[in-house]
Chains A and B, each alone.
Chain A
Amino acid sequence: MSNTLRISIDGKEKEAQAGDSILQAHLKGDETVTANIGCMGQGVCGACRCLVRKEGERETATRLACETLAEEGMQVSFMDYYQPARVSRYGLEDIRDGWEWMKHLRDVFPEASNCRHCSGCDRACPKGITVQEGIALASRGELQAAAEVFDACIMCNLCTLACPENIRPNHVGLFLRRAHAAQTLRPGDLLRRLDQQRRGELAIDLSAVPTAQGERA
């Protein structure tokens, strides 16, 4: 049995090996990829958001190309970054006060209480975050639980695009994570890392050549 499979990406036929991600299949070929690419497959930047339709299925789903395995007959369309009409502004000093953060949440994201529970955000999230639950928890004032829901969020903005009430859920999530971090003790591992950096133990040699393992020699 051949391990080669064919998928189509933005109208181009690509050959992939079983086990390849869509992104790996996308990068095979001569053309330079200049869009929908960021962290090169680590699943942290959200740039490779795409619509994916599997062969024989009606559903077209939103996925990250770097975290989705290529399948025979799969069709993939990459998507632009969605820029919401309104940008929210708030200062860290505003959200540091545990008594006041809900007021600030309401001021900055007044739409957050308008959720219609359509689950469009949950379906749109390529990370499988229960976005709707996070927004509900935030509206109830449960900061820690709400912030934890958005822990894996990579700010791809697909939930913001999906939301018919313009809630901008991932931005609410970022607010919650910031507020939670600002109101609690800093994590020990982060403190140790910062200490190492200050002592000069984490210097980066930009002239080094990357090896196959991604380490700098």
Chain B
Amino acid sequence: MDKLNQVLLKPAIQVGADLFAWMQQGGTQGLATALDAPQTLIQRIADADLRGMGGAGFPTARKWEAAAQAAGSEKYVVCNGNEDEPGTFKDRTLLSRTPHQVIEGALIAALAIRACHVIFYLNPHQQGSLREMRRAVAQWQDSPWLEKVAKAVGQPVDLQVVPSSGRYIGGEETAVVASLEGGFPFPRKKPPFPAESGVRGCPTLINNTETLAKVSHIIRHGADWYRALGVGAASGTKLYSLSGDVMAPGLYELPMGTSLHDLIYRYGGGMLEGKAFKAVFTGGPSNTLLTRKDLDVALDFDSVRERQSRLGTGAMIVISEGSSIIRKVAEYIGFFAKGSCGQCPSCKCGTFQLARLLERVDSGRHSPADLAALRHLCQILPGSGRCGLIDGAVTVVQSSLHTFPQEYGIAATAD
């Protein structure tokens, strides 16, 4: 258990919105270091191999670089705290229990790209996050730190807490921009990427809450320290939201690259009494299912991708033998169908039809033609939406068809 909760969830730093207590725990040291040499920040983040923790795993430094290079004196840093996908409960923990590490990370990001607006975009359904972040931001506004950052950036820097729409789709990067411009969170076509043209056309750096929370620690302790926290080639730590049929579901911060087996059996207390492991829905849950043969997989972005799945947000929803995969998939597709914004008929109508077919299969009222129709939908839908929602929904259906054909009553397909 020595590897548990070393950085973000370290018990000593769970100080809430108390800035003084945060400073006593070494808080603001990262920002102080950053203020000494703002021009080196992006390189340090690159050296640490920090990745986007919202699900994509995109190298954070490249995003920062793009926003730093983009023309314009008015730039935004947005902390994406919209977290709304089933099984993910990491950002709300950071925002409500250690808001200062998130704010400090966002200020360092603002320094790196010379942004004058820092926005915390938070899901209003998570009242605790909103409350604590508002309290915490107020303390930074009264502190001399904001003035120091403004001096380094060369213009006044404002901090704002903005409630999102609370809709699932509102977490998509371009939807964040649309929402902050006062509109409905409709995703937009990319390019242009928000780093080039985001809120009101200004370069906008949008990072997940967990990503930003790590920044101050990296700057304070160095890239080498951060890299060494991970297992093997993987770097740093990761928050894993473990849920489902395990003895001790919860949020675990572990070295990036910890095996799925260790997460479930060593830290999560193993499967519920009398239950046998069957599968794991990862991330959104819009990824390929992990099964018994994947228990040894290292839970980092690259290793999970080698198994044709994705680490996603680090959510691991564990299913035991005796639970219907189709039932779970139907539930998730129902969630996506509801969350689809409606802009692209293929997404709204496609998720609806997937959900209808899955409901029929799950309740045993289906015909062989329904199964053929389900597979056919999985062929015609991918790539048809503006954002990735429909692709994720199809991935999880396709994966269940491929991995658990017997539940659908169909013959297995070759790997």
Q: Bound complex: CA of A124 vs CA of B353, how far in Å?
A: 14
- On whether the beta carbons of B345 and A123 are closer than 8 Å, the reply is yes
Partner of B375, one of A11, A60, A116, A164: A11
A148-199 with Cβ < 8 A to chain B: 158, 161-164
CB atoms of B345 and A11 under 8 A apart: no
Contact A53 to B384, CB < 8 A, known contacts A78-B373, A80-B356, A82-B352:
yes
Given contacts A58-B384, A120-B344, contact A77 B373 (CB under 8 A): yes
Which residues in window 63-85 of A have CB below 8 A to B? 75-80, 82
A157 vs B344: C-alpha distance in the bound complex, in angstroms? 15
Whether B346 is near chain A, meaning CB under 8 Å from some CB there, is: yes
Chain A residue nearest to B360 (CB atoms) is: A80
**A12 at interface by CB-CB < 8 Å:** yes
Distance of B391 from chain A, by nearest CB (Å): 11
Closest to B357 in A: A80
Q: Which of B183, B340, B343, B380 is the one whose CB lies under 8 Å from A60?
A: B380
Q: Which of B212-261 contact A (CB under 8 A)?
A: none
Residue A24 at the chain B interface, CB threshold 8 Å: no
CB of A61 within 8 Å of the partner chain: yes
Q: Tell me the B319-342 residues at the A interface (CB within 8 Å).
A: 340-342
CB of A10 within 8 A of chain B?
yes
- Pairwise interchain contact B384-A59, C-beta atoms closer than 8 A: yes
Closest B residue to A31 by CB, please name it: B369
Asked if residues A161 and B349 are in contact (CB atoms below 8 Å), the reply is yes
Q: A116 and B184: CB pair below 8 A?
A: yes
Say yes or no for A119: interface residue by CB 8 A criterion: yes
Q: Is the CB of A60 within 8 A of B184?
A: no
CA distance A116 to B178 in the complex (A): 12
Q: Is A118 an interface residue (CB 8 A)?
A: yes
Q: Is the CB of B184 within 8 A of A118?
A: yes
Chain A CB within 8 A of B376 CB: yes
Name the B residues within 8 Å of A53 (CB-CB): 380, 384
Chain A contacts for B344, CB-based, 8 A: 120, 123
List the A side residues contacting B183 at CB < 8 Å: 116
Contacting pair B373 A58 (CB below 8 A): no
Is B114 engaged at the interface, CB distance under 8 Å to the other chain?
Answer: no
Q: Which of B184, B349, B356 contacts A51 (CB 8 A)?
A: B349
Residues from chain B with a CB closer than 8 A to the CB of A12 are 372
Contacts of A82 on B, CB cut-off 8 Å?
A: 352
Q: Quick check: is A17 within 8 A (CB to CB) of the other chain?
A: no
CB < 8 Å neighbour of B345 from A8, A10, A61, A77? A61
* Bound-complex Cα distance A10 to B376 (A): 6
Say yes or no: is B348 at the interface (Cβ < 8 Å to chain A): yes
The contact size tier of chain A is 20 to 34
Give chain A's interface secondary structure class.
mixed
Bound CA span A51–B372, Å: 15
Give the residue name and chain of the A residue nearest to B384 (CB): A60
What residues of A have a CB within 8 angstroms of the CB of B356 in the complex? 80
Q: How far is the CB of A30 from chain B (nearest CB, A)?
A: 13
Contact A10 B373 (CB under 8 A): yes
Q: Is B52 an interface residue (CB 8 A)?
A: no
- A162 to B342, alpha carbons, bound, how many Å? 5
**A residues within 8 A CB of B348?**
120, 124, 161-162, 164
CB of B383 within 8 A of chain A?
Answer: yes
Question: Do B372 and A11 touch across chains, with their CB atoms under 8 A apart?
Answer: yes
Report the bound CA distance from A59 to B356 in whole Å: 22
Set of chain A residues within 8 Å of B138, measured between Cβ atoms: none
Are B373 and A51 closer than 8 Å at their CB atoms? Answer: no
The residues of B that contact A116 with a CB separation of less than 8 Å are 183-184, 186
Which residue of B341, B343, B346, B353 contacts A80 across the interface (Cβ within 8 Å)?
B353
Q: Is the CB of B345 within 8 A of A162?
A: yes
* A59 near B342: Cβ-Cβ < 8 Å: no
Residues A118 and B186 in contact in the complex (CB < 8 Å), given A51-B346, A59-B346, A162-B349: yes
Are A75 and B380 in contact (CB-based, < 8 A)? yes
Residue B73 lies at the interface, judged by CB distance under 8 Å to chain A: no
The answer to whether B376 and A60 touch across the interface, beta carbons within 8 angstroms, is: no
Interface string of A79-93 (1 = CB under 8 A from B): 110100000000000
Q: How far is the CA of A8 from the CA of B384 in the complex (A)?
A: 18
Instruction: Name the distance in Å between B193's Cβ and chain A's nearest Cβ.
Output: 19
Contact of B349 among A62, A75, A119 (CB under 8 A): A62
Judge whether B369 and A10 touch: CB under 8 Å. yes
- Interface 1/0s, chain B 351-375, versus A by CB < 8 A? 0110010000000000001001101
Known: A11-B372, A51-B346, A120-B344. 5 other contacts (CB 8 A): A11-B373, A11-B376, A59-B346, A164-B342, A164-B343
7 closest Cβ contacts across the A-B interface?
A11-B372, A60-B346, A164-B342, A11-B376, A120-B342, A60-B384, A124-B345
A-B contact pairs, 6 of them (CB 8 A): A51-B353, A79-B349, A79-B352, A118-B341, A158-B349, A162-B348
